[in-house]
A and B are shown apart, each in its own frame.
Chain A
Amino acid sequence: MPEGPLIVQSDKTLLLEVEHPDATACRMAIAPFAELERSPEHIHTYRITPLGLWNARAAGHDAEGVIDALIKFSRYPVPHALLVDIAETMDRYGRLQLLNDPAHGLVLRGLDRAVLVEVSKSKKLAGMLGATVADDTMVVHPSERGRLKQALLKLGWPAEDLAGYVDGEKHQIGLDNTDWQLRAYQVQAADSFWAGGSGVVVLPCGAGKTMVGVAAMAHAQATTLILVTNTVAGRQWKRELVARTTLTEDEIGEYSGERKEIRPVTIATYQVLTARRKGAFTHLDLFGARDWGLIIYDEVHLLPAPIFRFTADLQARRRLGLTATLVREDGREADVFSLIGPKRYDAPWKDIEAQGWIAPAECVEVRVTPTDAERMAYATAEPDERYRFAATVHTKVPVVEALVARHPGEQVLVIGAYLDQLDELAADLEVPVIEGKTTTRERERLFDAFRSGELRVLAVSKVANFSIDLPEAAVAIQVSGTFGSRQEEAQRLGRVLRPKADGRQAHFYTVVTRDTLDAEYAAHRQRFLAEQGYAYTILDADDVLGSAT
């Protein structure tokens, strides 16, 4: 019996034993078609999904290869039914193709006529398909390209989009490589994106996703629209672009609540695009303002629903999605797949950490025991108030102080969701707070001060969850969160994962009130990171307080 590193489960999960000598080879073999779901310390879990198998087909892998990889590395015999299922699923991709026909424009061609007939009868495609111009070809209304792909994916017959892209307006963008180099995995990610045409690159926080975007822009050599989560993140993109490319300040526009500049490279926030006046989206013109050659979606897992709808109309343009995680709390992963594109690059966090690009992090959960009065207040609180009561207990304040004191001389971020609590903590620690109502100018000033080391401790609300580059932050103390959001936890950890100048270890503390909803939500949030291989250590508040004194 072969002693392979892989166990193939009937629910199509693959268990990979990390310590096995063949584990690396096996990971390489299964990565094209299986998605890494969890990577805790001993056994990594991959899942074979139809999306993953179709991704593999799109990349030119065939069913025989997938089956061979499974059989070769599997420790135990692989059930026949599973092999049959994989072959059948893979066979469904590419039976339909979206093509540009010289005579009829955009057409849907069925390599298997029966499939074309089947889908054309589906009610879900009503109004998307036009006349049948040949036995195997139907005209597609160009405006429906995205929606058609979405609908076909739902029907289980994903179409291969071979209709190509418009080149967009040419614009010279070069990399300014004077004092830095793209890392190998960044080059690989940008190249595989470019080869695929459109798609998503998954890299952990701090692994330099912006650089992948920059490299993609250098490939495209065209006007680019960059969509980001908020203004601060946008400014950061701008700084990076000026520093890393031949672009000048004047060539980069900001399209946000404050400024409405449209330049060859324009950075717009999701918020401004989804702003409505009298029920109508007022800034949609931006998408047609220039002949964009590339659209970059930063933090694609946060893409708001309306942007998906706009994206459906932008299928002729190259689209790059950047994210640390494809997990969407709303479960719209399939829309990301069909509208932005398949995943083009993915690397496990721990691998990148091992390569030294992100700081090693120690995750600690500090448990505080609420006072009896606090417990009583919590016990009698209204259900929708209970989490807030638990998360904002006053008992946490001395613990946070002790933790800050534990790391003298290091940059500390105190992150919370409740403003009262942050204000209380800030007053206690005598540090400034950045929250929703802080002006962008003030935010910039504070971040700059923090970056320069002038400010050692900063309290931030969830406005700082994403996309703010604070490379020197080495300690994050989380006091409350948005209920059980897994990706928030990942993003917050990402705040301290940027490599430190001296290679110090980063620390990520979560202060949790014992035996309350707070602890339950914390457990839920941590699960994501534990699955990524970040084991939490649990400390008692008394240990922290004891060591501080």
Chain B
Amino acid sequence: MPTRLVDALRELSDPQLAALLAARPDLAVPVPADLSALSSRAQSRLSLARALERLDRFTLEILDAVRLAAEPTGATTVGDVVALATSVPEGRVRAALASLRELAIVYGPDTELHVVHSVDELCPPYPAGLGRPAAELDPQVAALAADPGALRRELLAAPPAARAVLDRLAAGPPVGTVREPDSDGPVRWLLDHRLLAPDRIDTVQLPRELGLVLRREVGPLGELHPDPPVPDAPVRSAGSVDSAGAGQVMEVLRLTAALCDALADRPAPVLKSGGLGVRDLRRLAETLACGEGDCALLLEVAAAAALITEADGEVPAWLPTAGYDDWRSLPPAQRWVRLAYAWLELPRQPGLIGTRDDKDKAITPLSGGAARLSAPSLRRAALGVLTELPTGAAPAVDDVVALLSWRSPRRAGRAADATRWALAEAATLGVTGRGALTGYGRELLVEAPDGEPDPLGIEPSPAGPDPAVPLAELLPAPVDTVLLQADLTVVVPGPPEPALAAELELVADVESAGQAAVYRVTTASVRRALDAGLTAADLHTLFARRSSTPVPQALTYLVDDVARRHGGLRVGACSAYLRSEDTALLAQLVADRRLGLLALRQVAPTVLISPFQVHRLLDMLRDAGYAPVAEDAGGVVLAQRPDQPRALARTRPRVPPRELPAQLRSDQLDQVIAALRRGERAARAANRAPNPDVRSTADAITVLREAIATRQRIWVGYVDAHGGNVSRLVRPVSIGAGYLRAADDRTETLHTFSLHRIVSATPAEV
């Protein structure tokens, strides 16, 4: 009769074992040495918690039933469990038991079912929300509970307020806190009549017997939930869903490009703690004219799609990558697909941005604070609900949350927020439209046959679905002509072709962006184009070529007006100037061959300039026989007197006399020697570390408790975070709250071991 999990595992056939490892993949990594190692890993808290997370609400309810039934002896039978779940067909219960067995949470034959011990640590202490049997709580309560007739009488006599308290406790959990033990309250009445047992100082507990009586209508396990809740989802026409989604897709593409361009214009510095500062986020959101939340999401997606990254430099900053330019040249549908896959696989929760972390620090975009490895699976789970619904169904967010919380109640707390975020982000990114999954969004969520979608989406595997194909049909074709109007606006009646957009960006200012674009030509924008090297003629041709309507006169005049004034002022740099009222003299200087080296240039009849320094000019002019004077910036003549060269005095730093080392005091010497000796001993001990025979955790704890009393040193063997077996020589100090605290004499540090990881404890031979 296997009473231990390891024995049960030994009886498993190869396929059964394979099924277990497939259902709980974390058991196989790293490969356990043998079945006993597998068994101990399967019972470890971490692995078990993962396994429990996958269970739906009903299976957990059946697990509670097994725990309840197995309580006194540690084992139960399938029949007992089925008997507890009165309201559910037997087949369903057996199916739930089968999946629990497959996961090795429950083991043993039908006649002797065991539950893995650590389940009790991970699950609420009251299985099925029932209290402890009265006998364990209070003898007087037990006496009443033993007499069903008396119990029923007392129950019927309970005043309504007291009955309400009982009903609340009967629904579970069975423990209530008493705020003040007032003598008149319903709780006092219940205590006085032995219907409740005092539990701790300020809590009371409903005894199991009474709980069962109160639950006689719904069954001993309380209400069971064998079926998932069905979301209420109004169905919208597929066309309107796809259209709203496609509109959003265009919006996302436009905003993403605008975001990258804004970062290129003004890179946002990387914070010391990583990420992008709140102020920069606000600025970007303002530039994009979108909410900060949406902006943060776009940043995260752009970073995940490798469109922006941290650039090293004097000040590390967020900048668009070279990949951004490649991305821009893709057709719109593929551009979006890249973003969408990046989002789907994003191991971060953009929804957290702007909230505060455990240390009350604001979580900034692109920083470590928003990283959540669970995000992709939670996101897929939320979207998975949408894929299961018919086309165009738009479920209420709360219903999706409720359904997911039935599917895996143990992560419902975390998943509720993640689900809301996932659906909101899906709407923002255009994966959904009007609350329903779009046609192309459905394709996006289909996992490629090899299980791993190409994260870049550039070359979707040939057999896999390509959301870009249906999406491309929904998106408008780019436009390459514009409408010019007399109010100097330029309207691009659709998404502009990249070349057109680039041209317009140069000669006009964006006034309104979206699916089409409105630009305005202003004096400043024309000047910008002229500064960039275009001529007035170029601008006229550009407008004439791109416009599908005649060019308005006002625009022609504006270009000509600005062009006429453009370049009326010239700016340049020179090192020195020569001025003289005598224009003939200046003409002579320009003609003087000896001064050819000075590269003099006449900028006005009375002014020459040179790229050389003033003293060079003075020297050469004097050498050539002219009589120049230097003047300062204000035009005042500078008198020059020859200087005698002198070196700067250099002071030698004073070196302080070195102090002789002080004599070591005798106590310090003692400490050094003790440390040396300790190191010697530890090294010797390490050489003869005993090979611990595998013992159960319970035995180990007994040894450890002894050692605390005797201050003995112990070889503690434990499974480390990587699943490896390690042993360490320590002096146990205390055991409590699931942890062992022990001192390591060699390093003089205090270690903490999780008890469930300790596999052996062997006293060190002294």
Interface residues of chain A, those whose CB is within 8 Å of chain B, are 1, 7-11, 13, 15, 17, 38, 40-43, 45, 71, 75-83, 514-515, 519, 527, 530-531, 535-538
From B366-374, B550-558, B625-633, B658-666, give the one contacting chain A: B550-558
8 extra A-B contacts, CB within 8 A, seeds A77-B515, A79-B251:
A38-B487, A75-B515, A77-B250, A78-B243, A80-B427, A514-B561, A535-B552, A536-B553
Q: Cβ of B725: which chain A residues have Cβ within 8 Å of it?
A: none
From B16-24, B428-436, B706-714, give the one contacting chain A: B428-436
Task: Knowing A40-B486, A83-B434, A527-B487 are in contact, say whether A535-B554 is a contact too (CB < 8 A).
Answer: yes
Q: Cβ of B474: which chain A residues have Cβ within 8 Å of it?
A: 1, 77
Q: Cβ of A538: which chain B residues have Cβ within 8 Å of it?
A: 553-554, 557
| Contact among B248, B251, B289, B486 for A536, CB-based, below 8 A | B486
The residue in A8, A76, A535 that gathers the most chain B C-beta atoms within 10 A of its C-beta is A76
The residue in A43, A527, A535, A536 that gathers the most chain B C-beta atoms within 10 A of its C-beta is A43
Q: Cβ of A83: which chain B residues have Cβ within 8 Å of it?
A: 244, 434
Q: Judging by beta carbons under 8 Å apart, are A43 and B485 in contact?
A: yes
| Contact among B430, B489, B514, B553 for A8, CB-based, below 8 A | B514
Nearest to A537 among chain B residues (CB) is: B553
Q: Confirm or deny: B246 has a beta carbon within 8 angstroms of a beta carbon on chain A.
A: yes
Q: Judging by beta carbons under 8 Å apart, are B513 and A11 in contact?
A: yes
Q: Cβ of A40: which chain B residues have Cβ within 8 Å of it?
A: 485-487, 489
5 shortest A-B CB distances, which residue pairs? A9-B514, A530-B487, A77-B247, A535-B486, A79-B247
The residue in A17, A45, A519 that gathers the most chain B C-beta atoms within 10 A of its C-beta is A45
Q: Confirm or deny: B98 has a beta carbon within 8 angstroms of a beta carbon on chain A.
A: no
Q: Judging by beta carbons under 8 Å apart, are A81 and B557 in contact?
A: no
| Contact among B247, B432, B488, B493 for A78, CB-based, below 8 A | B247
Q: Confirm or deny: B494 has a beta carbon within 8 angstroms of a beta carbon on chain A.
A: yes
Q: Judging by beta carbons under 8 Å apart, are A80 and B430 in contact?
A: yes
Which of B424-445 touch A at CB < 8 Å? 427-428, 430, 432-434
Q: Cβ of B254: which chain A residues have Cβ within 8 Å of it?
A: 10
Q: Judging by beta carbons under 8 Å apart, are A530 and B561 in contact?
A: no
Give A83 to B247 CA distance when docked, in angstroms: 10
Q: Cβ of B561: which chain A residues have Cβ within 8 Å of it?
A: 514-515, 519
B327 to chain A minimum Cβ distance, whole angstroms, is 20
Q: Cβ of A9: which chain B residues have Cβ within 8 Å of it?
A: 512-516, 518
Q: Judging by beta carbons under 8 Å apart, are A76 and B487 in contact?
A: no
Q: Judging by beta carbons under 8 Å apart, are B485 and A41 in contact?
A: yes
Q: Judging by beta carbons under 8 Å apart, are B486 and A530 in contact?
A: yes
Q: Confirm or deny: B580 has a beta carbon within 8 angstroms of a beta carbon on chain A.
A: no
What 1/0 flags go to B56-88 for Cβ under 8 Å of A?
Answer: 000000000000000000000000000000000
Task: Knowing A1-B476, A40-B489, A43-B485 are in contact, say whether A8-B427 is a contact too (CB < 8 A).
Answer: no
Nearest to B548 among chain A residues (CB) is: A42
Q: Judging by beta carbons under 8 Å apart, are B289 and A11 in contact?
A: yes
Q: Judging by beta carbons under 8 Å apart, are A41 and B554 in contact?
A: no
Q: Cβ of B518: which chain A residues have Cβ within 8 Å of it?
A: 9, 13, 15, 43, 45
The residue in B246, B487, B489, B493 that gathers the most chain A C-beta atoms within 10 A of its C-beta is B487
Q: Confirm or deny: B240 has a beta carbon within 8 angstroms of a beta carbon on chain A.
A: yes
Q: Judging by beta carbons under 8 Å apart, are A42 and B554 in contact?
A: no
Q: Cβ of B494: which chain A residues have Cβ within 8 Å of it?
A: 7, 75-76
B240 to chain A minimum Cβ distance, whole angstroms, is 7
B262 to chain A minimum Cβ distance, whole angstroms, is 15
Q: Confirm or deny: B565 has a beta carbon within 8 angstroms of a beta carbon on chain A.
A: yes
Q: Judging by beta carbons under 8 Å apart, are A41 and B486 in contact?
A: yes
Q: Judging by beta carbons under 8 Å apart, are A76 and B250 in contact?
A: yes
Q: Cβ of B433: which chain A residues have Cβ within 8 Å of it?
A: 80
A338 to chain B minimum Cβ distance, whole angstroms, is 26
B678 to chain A minimum Cβ distance, whole angstroms, is 68
Give A15 to B485 CA distance when docked, in angstroms: 13
Q: Cβ of B541: which chain A residues have Cβ within 8 Å of it?
A: none
Q: Judging by beta carbons under 8 Å apart, are B244 and A79 in contact?
A: yes
Q: Cβ of A535: which chain B residues have Cβ within 8 Å of it?
A: 486, 552-554
Nearest to B294 among chain A residues (CB) is: A81
Q: Confirm or deny: B224 has a beta carbon within 8 angstroms of a beta carbon on chain A.
A: no
Give A7 to B485 CA distance when docked, in angstroms: 17
Q: Judging by beta carbons under 8 Å apart, are B483 and A43 in contact?
A: yes
Q: Cβ of A71: which chain B residues have Cβ within 8 Å of it?
A: 240, 243
Task: Knowing A42-B483, A80-B427, A538-B557 are in contact, say whether A10-B514 is a contact too (CB < 8 A).
Answer: yes
Give A10 to B243 CA distance when docked, in angstroms: 15
Q: Cβ of B428: which chain A residues have Cβ within 8 Å of it?
A: 81
Q: Cβ of A82: which chain B residues have Cβ within 8 Å of it?
A: 247
Q: Cβ of B486: which chain A residues have Cβ within 8 Å of it?
A: 40-41, 530, 535-536
Q: Confirm or deny: B108 has a beta carbon within 8 angstroms of a beta carbon on chain A.
A: no
Q: Judging by beta carbons under 8 Å apart, are B243 and A43 in contact?
A: no
Q: Cβ of B289: which chain A residues have Cβ within 8 Å of it?
A: 10-11
Q: Confirm or deny: B549 has a beta carbon within 8 angstroms of a beta carbon on chain A.
A: yes
Which of B405-427 touch A at CB < 8 Å? 427
B73 to chain A minimum Cβ distance, whole angstroms, is 56
Task: Knowing A9-B515, A515-B565 are in contact, say whether A79-B250 is a contact too (CB < 8 A).
Answer: yes
Q: Judging by beta carbons under 8 Å apart, are A80 and B512 in contact?
A: no
